[in-house]
Amino acid sequence: MAKARPLQCPFCDNYLKRPIDIRLKDLEILGGICPCGSVYVLDRTGHQLGQIYMDALCFACKGDFEKALSLDPEDYEDIDLNYDFNSNTTGRGRTPEKTGKLLFLRLKMKKSDAI
């Protein structure tokens, strides 16, 4: 059985706070930002990952919807975790009914930008 763990960024292992209400241009999400540059967005029901995915992309682009749409899959990394809002813990494996999903997304530095 998978053990619940305190919420940590899957990219840098930083401990994170619960998602909060965020409004950014047309975006309204429950989420947050990690100091490493990744963003996370909560899907309370665990059944709207498609929508959450788009929100996370848009959030990562600072609310720039057109930029979010122009990204290729190789431009970012994403990880989704089962998340319990009440205890602020994540777990893998079987998903209890009430568990939501937390989607982490981080934009990759393009090679052309790194020169």
Which residues of the chain form contacts with Zn ion (CB under 5 A)? 9, 11-12, 14, 34, 36, 38
C-beta closer to Zn ion: residue 36 or 69:
36
Amino acid letter, residue 98: K
Q: How far is the CB of 28 from Zn ion (least distance, A)?
A: 23
Q: What are phi and psi of 8, to 5 degrees?
A: -130, 150
Closer to Zn ion by Cβ: residue 65 or 107: 107
> CB of residue 91 vs Zn ion: minimum separation in angstroms?
19
Whole-number Å distance between alpha carbons of 115 and 10 = 27
DSSP of 98-110: T-EEEEEEEEPPP
Q: Shortest approach of Zn ion to residue 40 CB, angstroms?
A: 9
Nearer to Zn ion by Cβ, of 20 and 36: the residue is 36
- Asked whether the beta carbons of 96 and 16 are under 8 A apart, the reply is no
Residue 2 CA to residue 83 CA, distance in Å, equals 12
Shortest Cβ 11–Zn ion spacing (Å): 5
Q: For Zn ion, which is the closer residue by CB, 40 or 101?
A: 40
